[in-house]
Amino acid sequence: MMIVLKDRPLIVQSDLIVLLDESKPLATQAREKLILFTDAVKRAGSVHTYRMTALSLWNAAAAGITADDIILWLTELGQYELPFQTEASIRKLIGRYGKLRITLDDDKLLLQGDSSIMAELSLYPSIMKWIVNCLDPMVWELQNSCRGFFKQELTRLGYPVIDLAGYHIGEMLSVKLRTTSARNRKFELRDYQQAAVDLFYKEGTVQGGSGVIVLPCGAGKTIVGIAALTRLSSATLILTSNSTSVKQWKDELLDKTTLTDSDVGQYCGALKQVRPVTIATYTILTHRKSKEGLFSHMKLFSERDWGLIIYDEVHLLPAPVFRMTADIQATRRLGLTATLVREDGCAEDVYSLIGPKQFDMQWKAAEAGLHIAAVACTEIRVPLLKEKQPLYKESTARAKLRLAAENPRKIEVVKELLRKHAGKPTLIIGQYLKQLHEVAEALGAPLLTGEIPQKERQQLYDRFISGDISVLIVSKVANFAVDLPDASVAIQLSGSFGSRQEEAQRIGRLLRPKGESNYAWFYTLVTDETKETEFAMRRQLFMLEQGYHYDRQIISDRSMCAEECAEEAAAL
């Protein structure tokens, strides 16, 4: 079939915005290219909006994609001639990648670059304050203490820099990967896990040792971190999102490496163990007694001579940890995440302080390789309870969203879904504690929230994993880094406004491989004709760009009334 210009799926604008019409031929191929060098912004019907940014183009360049590649794709898939301004901007931004380098020579920290770029930088006081000496037009000596802060400022100004100053080895650690796990199972790295570790390490070069690995939930990010640790064989600090994850990291380390219990410390809650491998939470690092007080546990960064710091769920990295990371650029740093989407605008700090994206596996590629489960996503639109409609109309925007999120009619839909998937391990996930308590009472199911002590949380997780309970209601505490491998169904009652990151993480709870069936179901319940529908569309954006599709079911007010009347009659 010949594709004429008007049938091509892309419209490229001069402001670096790209529109993808999903109804056109070649739309799937176009989306697969776009996610390599753009950020998804929004969707309206069949039209998806993407934006090319300096960061998205630099990450593409770090992966070996050239300006010519991008221009060719946009030209071949675009309905109109590529705007001159767009081509010029792409060439300018990608052209800056690799032109600036930080090196170390005889203990002197140096900035090296093309004389034209160095001349541009000389106009910025925020750059020149870090310069000790201009050795020549292409080489400047920097203050030794400025490595991280200098990279942050360069990134902010639109100048990427490749850090070739190298890393210190750190405290040596004798550790190897097992070929048979402690649980007596055969263990070896999958091909893509090995590739991710190789790209991070870059053996024989000074460029390896910092960067981010992006893998779908369930594809083994923890294994990649463990393999990097054994490759470097040095003392390692692992930072993660919660106490449950700390325990899971320790279990995996003891299962898949030659480390012993005395080698691995947990630094969270009542435990403050600092050992050759220490696992801590972001929460404890950022704890302080008052808003103006000191972060007393930040000293953990200097408790040992760490050779590697692993930032699990790096997209959650809090600002105080960024500041500490700026001071330790001589230590190798590995970020792990399922999505580099940040809702707080701090993606530039991840790039400059942790490092560029080194490896990115698309979710559908992982599914095709049977590395994660296939998941069917469904949005169910539920009518608002009639008694709530007048209150909804009179409420503020924020109150409207909460009223819609806590729509009592969602409980009946949950019951129906549990009947449909009877016996399957099911998570019911929500944002608001009042709503979760009501659902727990209506279903007679256990509820896990931040109010529950860590020991009891772990007991509930263990009972769910063992099959002792088939339905578990969870709050935001289960969004991240919680390994519930047998969960097959997730029902989302409510979420954090339009968080794409949260949607991906919640679906991620279902993606562990499940043997022969290897299939799971995700339902998101949305109150129809309310603000919640707008936020739902935004939440789904990341998954849509990864190639997933949301079926939509609309439940009418009439059908809900009929079901409710039938239940009342049955009760009588």
Q: What is the pLDDT of residues 105-148, one digit of tens each?
A: 988 999 999 999 999 999 999 999 999 999 999 999 999 999 99
Residue 518 CA to residue 371 CA, distance in Å, equals 10
Task: Report the pLDDT value the prediction gives residue 478, as an integer from 0 to 100.
Answer: 66
Tokens at 201, concatenated:
């390490």
Same domain, 76 and 142: no
Same domain, 213 and 312: yes
Same domain, 347 and 371: no
Residue 351 DSSP symbol: I
* Predicted confidence (pLDDT) at residue 405 exceeds the cutoff of 90: yes
How many domains would you assign to the chain? 4
Residue 151 lies in a domain: yes
Question: 440-450 in b/e burial notation, b at 16+ Cβ within 10 A?
Answer: beebebbbbbe
Residue 183 lies in a domain: no
* Predicted confidence (pLDDT) at residue 523 exceeds the cutoff of 90: yes
Task: Report the pLDDT value the prediction gives residue 479, as an integer from 0 to 100.
Answer: 65
Task: Report the pLDDT value the prediction gives residue 556, as an integer from 0 to 100.
Answer: 81
Residue 136 lies in a domain: yes
Task: Report the pLDDT value the prediction gives residue 572, as an integer from 0 to 100.
Answer: 45
The DSSP-derived string for 491-551 is EE---STT-HHHHHHHHHTT-S--TTT-EEEEEEEEETTSHHHHHHHHHTHHHHHTT--EE
The DSSP-derived string for 419-457 is HHTTTS-EEEE-S-HHHHHHHHHHHT--EE-TTS-HHHH
| CATH, residue 158 | 3.30.70
Same domain, 343 and 384: no
Same domain, 115 and 199: no
Tokens at 54, concatenated:
């300096």
Q: Comparing 544 with 306, which gets the higher pLDDT?
A: 306
Residue 501 CA to residue 91 CA, distance in Å, equals 30
| C-beta neighbour count of 29 within 10 angstroms | 13
332-337/277-281 β-pairing: unpaired
Q: What is the pTM of this model?
A: 0.89
Sign of CA dihedral 239, 240, 241, 247: negative
Sign of CA dihedral 180, 181, 187, 189: negative
Which of 74, 96, 118 is the last residue in one of the domains?
96
Give 390's contacts (C-beta < 8 A, 6+ positions apart): none
How buried is residue 365: exposed, middle or buried, by Cβ count under 10 Å (0-12/13-18/19+)? middle
* Predicted confidence (pLDDT) at residue 413 exceeds the cutoff of 80: yes
Task: Confirm if 147 and 222 have CB atoms less than 8 A apart.
Answer: no
Residue 118 lies in a domain: yes
Same domain, 325 and 381: no
Task: Report the pLDDT value the prediction gives residue 78, as an integer from 0 to 100.
Answer: 95
Mean pLDDT of 483-508: 85
Give 31's contacts (C-beta < 8 A, 6+ positions apart): 20, 22, 48, 545, 547
Taking only the tens place, the pLDDT of each residue in 138-182 is 999 999 999 999 999 999 999 999 999 989 889 999 999 998 877
Q: Comparing 456 with 50, which gets the higher pLDDT?
A: 50
Task: Report the pLDDT value the prediction gives residue 262, as an integer from 0 to 100.
Answer: 97
Which of 48, 81, 96 is the last residue in one of the domains?
96
Task: Confirm if 358 and 200 have CB atoms less than 8 A apart.
Answer: yes
| CATH, residue 408 | 3.40.50.300
- pLDDT band of 43, cuts 50, 70, 90: confident
Residue 300 CA to residue 280 CA, distance in Å, equals 9
Q: If we measure between CA atoms, which residue out of 221, 201, 189 comes closest to residue 480?
A: 221
Task: Confirm if 424 and 488 have CB atoms less than 8 A apart.
Answer: yes
Q: Which of 203-212, 268-277, 413-422 has the lowest mean pLDDT?
A: 203-212
- pLDDT band of 296, cuts 50, 70, 90: confident
Same domain, 531 and 385: yes
Same domain, 217 and 204: yes
Residue 489 CA to residue 310 CA, distance in Å, equals 31
* Predicted confidence (pLDDT) at residue 204 exceeds the cutoff of 80: no
Mean pLDDT of 221-241: 95
Taking only the tens place, the pLDDT of each residue in 353-395 is 999 899 999 899 999 998 999 999 999 999 998 888 999 999 9
Task: Report the pLDDT value the prediction gives residue 441, as an integer from 0 to 100.
Answer: 95
Same domain, 89 and 118: no
Residue 370 DSSP symbol: T
Which of 310, 337, 361 is the last residue in one of the domains?
361
* Predicted confidence (pLDDT) at residue 569 exceeds the cutoff of 50: no
Same domain, 426 and 551: yes
* Predicted confidence (pLDDT) at residue 560 exceeds the cutoff of 80: no
Same domain, 391 and 352: no
Question: Domain limits at 284?
Answer: 191-361
Same domain, 399 and 469: yes
Residue 179 lies in a domain: no
Sign of CA dihedral 13, 15, 20, 25: positive
Measured CA to CA in angstroms, residue 177 lies from 43, 174, 296, 332, 483 at distances of 44, 11, 34, 20, 21
